[in-house]
Structure 1
Amino acid sequence: MISAGHAIVRSLEQHGIDRVYTVPGESFLDVLDGLHDSSIQTVVCRHEGGAAYMAEAEGKLTDLPGVAMVTRGPGAANAHVGLHTAWQDSTAMVLFVGLIPFEHREKEAFQEFDPKAWFQTGAKRVMVLDHAERASEVVAEALFSARSGRPGPVVVGLPEDIIQQQVSPELHPQIPIATGGMTVSDWKELKGALLEAEKPLFVFGGNDWSRQAAEDFTGWLEAHELPAAAEWRCEGTVPFSSPSYIGPLGYGRPKHSGRILDEADLMVFVGTVPGDVITGGFTARQDWDKRNFLVTIDPGLRGRSGPVTHQIVAKPDVFVRDLLRIDLPVKDSWSSWRERLRAKQVEFSTPPEPAASGKAGMDAVMGHLIPRLPEDCMVTFGAGEHTNWAHRYFPTHGYARMISARNGSMGYSVPSAVAASLRHPERLVVSIAGDGEFLMNGQELATAAQYGANPLIIVADNREYGTIRTHQERDYPGRISGTQLKNPDFAGLARAYGGHGACVEENGELGPALDEALEAVRGGSFAVIHVVVSQRQKAY
């Protein structure tokens, strides 16, 4: 016999989970004890929000759910931000929450809360382990629910006394995931629509791809000289350098891309749907005379707006498998359409020559950074105007090379960079952070130091919450309120946490600062470059 807490750990191992992110609590001590002798790496974080963000990023980086473990009450409340990110970003994630003992319920016990009341509307499923013998089954169900259909977060409550009870060591088998696929009629409908179209456009998105499917999809698009755009913050599935890649759709999009939505006579959305951000607040492509094919495993089409010509119920991998069997003659109109869109994207995404002097600016940062990047580099960021430079210029050459929060969540940049660096220690991970955003979870650099993560963090310090000020200037001109910041020495903070830190105020200092930071990263340390920039800089 083993304890239910140990059965939970063994079940996670059986499902291939090799890392969990946690802030420990007395409510799930038996699970922590099970992790002691486990093959699973336990990453101890500094804040439950950071742990949840890391688990959410892990769900984007792998084909398994990311896993976080936190304690009851305040711990669960702090982790809620990661759940919202996973819900809106459709990321497979499981959050285990320690709970008060079963016998103490409904007595306003210390840190008591109702997990179903808190999380039911923002998670795919909320389960509470009330019967110890079901511990392994609940783990299997949670991991299945997080991955099945449209991926998302699942919450599992673990009463402190239940997980200490003895159960059989027999583990529940893994539950297979249905992936869908094109039916014969789907295949014929799509082929016919493509043959009729003069200006077709594919849009890719979501976190449910494999690298092989992304490569096959890119090859098929290039062979047929067809264009593809990225859902907001999903760049890389079709590489930055591909002649078929024509840029991102969403906030901060190139001006020409807004017109593309209504100009295309056929749009095929793969792994995503035309939602709020893509359609500019449900305004573009709302005419039901437009032809839209939606490829998603979610039969409910949650988040969709505008017309639906045909839905194909499939995950991206199996859709691409079936798409490869569609061989079409390349139309001259396809080639000219793609070339026109691609030319605009190349012009838009080519970084400017960095200024050799003057006050430091983000254009110069990107101009110095891009030539120094290896092809397999990755980028992470959260929310704020500083992200626009990453959207515009950062070269993403593969699936899951851009890890960001599509729910616009601040504080995501550093935790996601730590998770990405742990998952891919052989790659350079760059995070573009704002000053306000960095201060929300920058303490996770201590986690990076403890576990050997070595991302390069570039902090754009404009001493304000810039996005909100932009809205204020538009709606309340000349009345700036509640957006200005007084910041610490971010380079000094980096050194205090055990990494490399440098502060840059002039463009001429950027090249040497980047070289020194990259040398530190290659040596196994994380690095922070604190770039002091002027207010009101714009990437577009």
Structure 2
Amino acid sequence: MNHKLRHAGQAIVDSLAVHGVKRVFAVPGESYLAVLDGLHGTSIETVVARHEGGAAYMAEAHGKFTGEPGVAMVTRGPGAANASVAIHSAWQDGTPMVLFVGLIPVADRMRESFQEFDPSAWFGTQAKRVFVLDEPGRASEIVAEAFFAAKSGRPGPVIVGLPEDVITKEFEGKIATPIPVAEGAVSPRELHQLQTALAAAEKPLIYVGGQRWTQDSAAAITSFAARNGIPVAQDWHASDRVPFTSRVNIGTLGFGRGATAAEMFDEADVLLAIGALPTDVPTDGFTLRQRPDAVNYLVSIDTTLRGRSGAVTAHLLASPVAFAEAVEGLDLGRTKEWDMWRARGYEAHLALSAIGDYVDLTATADGTAHMSVVINELIQRLPDDAVCTLGAGNHTIWAQRFFPTNVFPSQLATRNGSMGYSIPSAVAAGLESPERLIVAVCGDGEFLMNGQELATAGQYGVPVLAIVMDNSQYATIRDHQESHFPGRVSGTQLSNPDFAALMRAFDGHAETVTSDAEAAGAVERALKAVMGQRRSALIHVITDQKISLP
């Protein structure tokens, strides 16, 4: 090969740079060596993960954290299969990401070649688009199309297949410029209709979540709600659109939600949903707010309203950014009339999130501690802009309910219930915002699905505080099991390693907490290691199997 020529792999990297990509998350493979060659010596950081699932989760988390597509690169067959867990998460959560997958040479197709697979067949139902680069001259064009598809409308994952022979060929095209993404808009007629409905309401409610938010739009929507005294409910695992301490915040819907938030969501005579939709989880399995006469104004940039349920009074085709601009300064003049309605939700949120009320409620077995004590000690020491990451399982409710998310973005979690997300997402957040404290709240089962990415955190100098709740079981499934088949425990018990020893093997600081008296010191020392010494730390909390939920 003449290295003075630009091959298609180099054109892909040059296109990523034009799109503002600062880093890619990768597990290397021989199928995309030309792209790795293109990354050599560039300003784009290549973050080498230890598993394709971890790399793809990092890219998905980057998409959530920044609003810009996270980029992952994996090899064919097994690599693509391992990355698919994050593709499903990005699809259900509406997260922008682009997955580049090395493929077999074009001439080897349909011959059961080594690690051959059909990317369209595998990902066609879980990605917004699936591209395969068959012409080297289209390399840059396809990158631009992939980024546009990932960001536009309802965001989501896009797959780009890269045959290993095609990306080595000379690129003779031009580097494509990014395609602008529309934010939508609210027409004067739509704004008047919404203003009239809200002004006449007795129990208005705002419901927020989803993607396409920015710090400015989150602050503007909070100001709109506060100015008018309208309570705000937040989607499950998306509790950072309105500050935790805001007087309009009534908490989150979905798993682990408070009764008052669900009641107010169902009772509201006018619902204004911004970014989020009344989907399965916030509606308690399509049971809340299903009245055919319910008044629901849905602000969503998704033309299909995918996943929504219940009545649609009006669909305002706008992102949270465009809607925030439309309601800037809007004053409905009814704040005092709604004060009792708002205060009902806010006071319930305060009561539900008062961690001190959950401390030492019951005795635990010898050698175990209360998760509530550890979380309480942590919360007392958190900086205002701390970031919380979590995967899936009962342990996440300790973070969802009590961890103060006062800045957007400050929570990274999967809304599709995917495990193994907490550590990779913490790495992604730490790389993007190294000045912030990143806390991963993990379950014992969840942690071991991608805990190896602590090695990646160490390699790239990302100090993470991991809190591992160890009750030696898959507690969520155990709870369902006891509900449906009481007393017949099957397939949910775990025999765990010494997580603190594992952390020390990753050259991090480690603590093991086996009693409530050890919690304060362990948290203090762990935070000192992370924030003072810039070392990752892990607190291994041994808990009683009987107490998995607050």
Q: TM-score, normalised by structure 1?
A: 0.98
Structure 1 range deviating more: 474-483 or 318-327: 318-327
Q: Counterpart of 2:429 in 1: which secondary structure?
A: helix
Q: Percent identity?
A: 53
Question: Does 1:101 pair with 2:105?
Answer: yes
Residues 1:536 and 2:540 are matched in the alignment: no
2:90: which partner in 1?
86
Letter in 2 for 1:265: D
Displacement of 1:355 after TM fit? Answer: 4.9
Aligned to 2:372: 363
Q: Is 1:267 equivalent to 2:271 in the alignment?
A: yes
Is 2:426 the partner of 1:417?
yes
In structure 2, distance between residues paired with 1:207 and 1:495:
37
Q: Given the alignment of the two structures, is residue 279 of structure 1 paired with residue 279 of structure 2, yes or no?
A: no
Q: Unaligned stretches of 5+ in structure 2? A: none
| Alpha-carbon distance, 1:207 to partner | 2.2
Check conservation: 1:199, 1:333, Cα contact below 8 A: no
Match of 2:380, SS state, is helix
Q: Please name the residue that 1:527 is paired with.
A: 537
Q: For the residues of structure 2 that align with 1:355 and 1:475, how far apart are their CA atoms?
A: 29
Question: Which amino acid is 1:298 matched to?
Answer: D
Q: In structure 2, which of residues 140, 160, 167 is the aligned counterpart of residue 136 of structure 1?
A: 140
**1: CA distance between counterparts of 2:305 and 2:491?**
38
Say whether the 8 Å CA contact 1:466–1:536 is kept in structure 2. no
The separation in 1 between residues aligned to 2:214 and 2:163, in whole angstroms, is: 36
Asked if 1:385 is matched to 2:394, the reply is yes
| 1:57-68 equivalent positions in 2, closer than 5 A | 57-68=61-72
Aligned residue for 1:68, secondary structure, equals strand
Q: Distance in 2 between matches of 1:524 and 1:169?
A: 45
The whole-number CA distance in structure 2 between the counterparts of 1:336 and 1:420 is 38
- 1:151 aligns with 155
Q: 4+ residue stretches of structure 1 with deviation over 4 A? A: 353-358
- Cα distance in 2 for residues equivalent to 1:538 and 1:486: 17
| Cα separation, 2, equivalents of 1:210 and 1:94 | 20
Name the residue aligned to 1:160. Answer: 164
Q: Does 1:478 align with 2:487?
A: yes
For the Cα contact (< 8 Å) 2:31–2:75, is it kept in 1? yes
**Could you tell me how far apart the structure 2 residues matched to 1:63 and 1:236 are?**
14
| SS state at 1:327 partner | coil
Please list the CA deviations of residues 427-452 of structure 1 after superposition, one character each: whole Å capped at 9, or x if unmatched. 00111100000010000000001001
Residue 298 (structure 1) aligned with residue 308 (structure 2): no
2:382 alignment counterpart: 373
Alpha-carbon displacement from aligned partner over 1:228-287 (angstroms, at most 9, x marks no partner): 011000011100011111100111101222211221111111001100001111111111
Contact 1:272 1:296 in 2 (8 A): yes
The structural deviation recorded for 1:162 is: 0.2
CA distance in 1, matches of 2:35, 2:246: 46
CA deviation map 1:292-339 (0-9, x unaligned): 000001111100000111110001101110011422102433111111
Shifted more, 115-124 versus 184-193: the winner is 184-193
Deviation at 1:536, TM superposition (A): 2.3
Residues 214, 398 of structure 1: 8 Å contact kept: no
Residues of 2 paired with 1:268 and 1:2: CA distance?
51
- What SS is found at the alignment partner of 1:143? helix
Structure 2 CA distance for aligned equivalents of residues 329 and 96 of structure 1: 52
For 2:450 and 2:296, the matched residues in 1 are separated by: 40
Matched, 1:28 2:38: no
Q: Is the 8 A contact 2:203 2:270 kept in 1?
A: yes
SS at 1:67 equivalent = strand
Is the 2:138–2:173 Cα contact (8 Å) retained in structure 1?
no
Which residue number corresponds to residue 350 of structure 1? 354
- Give, in whole Å, the separation in 2 of the partners of 1:272 and 1:504: 38
Q: TM-score, normalised by structure 2?
A: 0.97
**8 Å contact from structure 1 (residues 45, 51) kept in 2:** yes
Q: Report the alpha carbon displacement of residue 288 of structure 1 after superposing the two structures with TM.
A: 1.2
Contact 1:22–1:48 (Cα < 8 Å) also in 2:
yes
8 Å Cα contact 2:471/2:548 also seen in 1:
no
The CA deviation at 1:538 is: 4.1
The alignment covers a number of residue pairs equal to 540
Look up the equivalent residue of 2:448 and give its one-letter code.
Answer: L
Aligned with residue 239 of structure 1, among 243, 254, 267 = 243
Question: Is this contact kept in 1: 2:133–2:160, CA < 8 A?
Answer: yes
CA distance in 2, matches of 1:539, 1:463: 14
Which has the larger displacement, 259-268 or 159-168?
259-268
Shift in Å, 1:367:
1.2
Amino acid at match of 1:196: A
What does residue 224 of structure 2 align with?
220
In the aligned structure 2, how far is the partner of 1:31 from the partner of 1:169? 17
- The residue aligned with 1:510 is 519
1:2, 1:169 within 8 Å by CA — same for their partners in 2? no
Q: Is residue 45 of structure 1 aligned with residue 55 of structure 2?
A: no
Q: Is the 8 A contact 2:227 2:331 kept in 1?
A: no
Q: Aligned partners of 2:323, 2:133: CA distance in 1, in Å?
A: 36
Structure 2 residue 454 is the aligned partner of structure 1 residue 445: yes
Deviation of 1:170 (Å): 2.5
Is 2:227–2:335's contact at 8 Å kept on the other side of the alignment? no
- The corresponding residue for 1:340 is 344
Secondary structure, aligned partner of 2:124? helix
Task: Tell me how far apart the structure 2 counterparts of residues 377 and 227 of structure 1 sit (CA, whole Å).
Answer: 24
User: Which amino acid is the alignment partner of residue 449 of structure 1?
Assistant: G
Question: What is the Cα deviation at residue 379 of structure 1?
Answer: 0.1
Question: Is the Cα–Cα contact under 8 Å of residues 457 and 529 in structure 1 kept in the other structure?
Answer: yes
**Superposed CA RMSD:** 1.2
The Cα shift of 1:350 comes to 1.0
